[in-house]
Each structure stands twice: as C-alpha cells, then as structure tokens.
Chain A
Amino acid sequence: MHNAERWADRTTIHLPATAGAAVKLLGELGSEGRLLAGGTWLMRAPMTSGHYIALAGIAELRQIEIGQDRLRIGAGASHAELALALDGLDDLKGLADAAGGAANPAIRRRATVGGNLCTTAFAASDLASALLAAEAEVTLITPAGTLRQELAIYLDWRRTSAAQHHLLQHVEVSRRAGRRLCHARLPLRRAGDYPVAMVSLAAGSDRQGRLADVVVAVGAVESQARRWPALERTLTGQLPCRSAAITCAQANLCQFAGREGPEVPGWYRQQVLPELVARAVAQWAKAGGQE
C-alpha cells in the first residue's frame, strides 16, 4: 500500500519559465536539485525529498520543427506530440512508430522525448533506439554553455559525473533523400507494454535496390540502446529480403548479451533479434515499394 505520509511536506517543485532559468536553478541547488520532465518515470516510485525543477512550463522546449533537410525536436515534446507531428513523413516513419507505439496512450501524452533519453535506468526506450538509427544529435545546456553531441556519445556521457546539471534542449535529425527509417518492436502484450527487444533500421538503396548506408540500433536487449556496427556492415549490399536479414543477424548475434529481467530471460531478448531485423527490413522494403 502507498502511504500518504511519504510525500508529506518534503518536496519543492520549481516551475521555471525558460530553459536558461532551469539550468541556473539546477546549478544553484546542486545535488539537491533534479529535473522533472513528464514525470512518467520518476513518479513510478514515491519521489524522494528535495527540489524538483519542472520543465513542463517551458514553451521553448516543446517545439517541433520539421524542415526539408532537418528535424528538430524540443526535449519537452511528448511522445504523442511527436507522433502526430511526424504523421505522413515516410522517411521518418520509424521515429513516428517509436513515438506512437511506446507504452500506452496515457503515458505517451505525458512522457517527453528528453525525459526518455535522459533516464539512465530505463533500458527499453523506443526513442533512443530509433534516434540512434537516425544518427541524431542532441543539444545540451550546461552551466558552461551549450554543448552538441551525437546521441550515441550522449547515452554514455549522461551516466558520468560530468553530466550533472545539464539540460537536454533538443534533438536534431538530418533528413536525407532516399533514406528511410523503420522501427520494429516486440512487446509481450500487443498493447501497453514496454518491448522486450526492438530494432531500428535506417538505410538508403543503391541502383539495384540493395541496402546502402545502413545504420542499425538495438534497444531493450541490453541496459542501454546501442548501434550494431557488425550487422550494419553485413547488411550493406544485401537485397532487402527476409532470408538475408535473418542470416546476417544470426551471424552477428553473439555481439549482444541479453539483459535478464522479470518479464523475459536475457537469452530470449537476444534470440528474437533476427526476427526483428527481418521485420524492420520488410518495413523498409514496403515503404520503398520493394515488397
């Protein structure tokens, strides 16, 4: 049972109006201050005492800008807002699917892009996987100034002591002609679950319709989403067919050690990866009319 006394008069929630004010507060509060985005992760356990800096009122963090060659997502945009904004953009369908398929509708309305990427304890972030495959970059505000990093670097950096007191401001994705992003996920239930494994694939194609410039990311299998470089090399030059996808994935499967969890054992997460790679490749082919 929950106990109301646990929350009694122990917390202060600050509501800064700008990202700069939030970072300033974070610096002033030191180790007592924590950022609070959508709250969908922090609120799963009683919040510990201290100061929380809520980002919900910062309008600049919620903007999503879609340009011809670039997508910029404010860290405060919710999953639902992102999915809606990307609706109909074929090259970014995998990102729309990741945002629109995560968790359940009520969580998607609250959970933010930034919160999802900053939460180190959350292994099953759909957005981390999809944005890794999209080779996204993040922009951070730190007390020392603005910092831009590749998402792949950021996911490691956020766990270090150097990452204290930073605010993720926005995420940027380059849009390149002929390139498509797909996202395949495996939840235990068809709805409302975090997936046990997911694969995101971004690729273009050569004149023969073979996969080119392949980027693959895997999420939920290990404690943090990461790219699968060996598979990227193996898939490059392959026709986008199921058998090739499964063969290539199986040949490189040993590069993952599945995370043990109450919902599935680690080996299961690893063993479903070839099927998810095949599904991602099938989505990619279908989106390009190569079904």
Chain B
Amino acid sequence: MIGQLWINGEWCRHDADPAAPLHRVLRENLGLTGSKDVCGEGFCGACLVQLDGAPIAACLVPVALAEGAQIVTIEGLDQDPVAQSLMAAMEAEDAVQCGMCFPGMVMTLTHLLKTCPTTDREKVKRALAGNICRCTGYERIVSAACRAAKDLVAADAQKVVA
C-alpha cells in the first residue's frame, strides 16, 4: 500500500504499514533523520515534528493519521526566520551539547516563540516539559530561547521604525 504525506512543502510517498509510527517512516522510508528514535513513548521529545503547526510526538502518531496534515520536520525549518534566530541564539549561548534532543527542542521552542513572542524563563521551562536533555544542559537552552525572543522582538521593532 502506498501512502502519501505532505512534508516540508512537498508530497512524499512511502510504502510503510499504516500503523507504523510517523518518526520511523520519516527516518527509514524518507531519509529525514532529524526526528530521533529514542523513548518511543512520547516522553523525551526527541522525535517531535510539527503537525499542522503544533509540535507532536511523532512516535505516537500512526503514519496513516498524519496523511492530509502539514508536517514540518527539523529539516524543513532551515528557511524559517524564527528557527534561524533560535539557532543563532543557541550558538551564542553555547547551548548545544550532544545534539540528540536538539531537533525536538527547536521544534518546541520555535512553536513557543511564534505563539508567545514575549516569553520568559518560566514559560520556556513549561513549554520544554516534554523535552528531555540527557546532557542536562537545560539552563543554557532556556537562556538561548529567551535571547531569541528578545532578538525577535527587537527585530520586529526595527521593522516598525523602518
């Protein structure tokens, strides 16, 4: 059986079983390895992708139920200005360690920065409740998210002035 998914702005065909978890289809059938295969129970956040704009645990979504939805993976954020600002802040804050949790972290934080631009440390921590960093580098990740929020607000203010 052939399935079809709308991923990062293009149609992708696959022949996986309809009940296969979305993250495994992304990784094994479509070569999109940014979504990590870790806990398989929705608790670590390493597999997060955006489904119709909101981050969800791809390990808990049967691929058949993702058909018709707009899927964005970490690979699809390379032109996203909010994600770009976040990644720059991550680099500036030296927040990246082993990298296993990072695609999921970026998925969560990009959504947060878009839906709640005036975020603060408490909101960032709440948003990251489902993203586990085994390197325990949380504080610098939170700092990076707050830095990105300030940068984005400042950039918006400059646009208004201009």
Contact = CB atoms under 8 A, between A and B. Distances in A.
B42 A104 contact: yes
Contacts of B64: 13, 15, 54
A9 interface: yes
A7 to B, nearest CB: 4
A56 interface: yes
Contacts of B55: 105-106, 109
B17 A191 contact: no
A32 to B, nearest CB: 14
Contact of B24 (A2, A39, A47, A103): A2
B126 interface: yes
A144 interface: no
A15 B65 CA distance: 9
Given A7-B16, A9-B1, A104-B130, A43 B48 contact: no
Q: Which size bracket describes the interface of A in this complex?
A: 20 to 34
A13 B42 contact: no
Given A13-B18, A36-B65, A43-B59, 13 more contacts: A7-B19, A39-B61, A43-B42, A44-B41, A104-B129, A104-B130, A105-B127, A105-B129, A107-B60, A191-B125, A191-B129, A192-B130, A192-B132
28 contacts: A4-B24, A7-B16, A7-B19, A10-B17, A11-B17, A11-B19, A12-B18, A13-B18, A13-B65, A36-B62, A38-B60, A39-B61, A40-B60, A44-B40, A44-B41, A47-B19, A52-B19, A105-B108, A105-B126, A105-B127, A106-B130, A107-B43, A107-B57, A107-B60, A109-B56, A110-B57, A110-B61, A192-B129
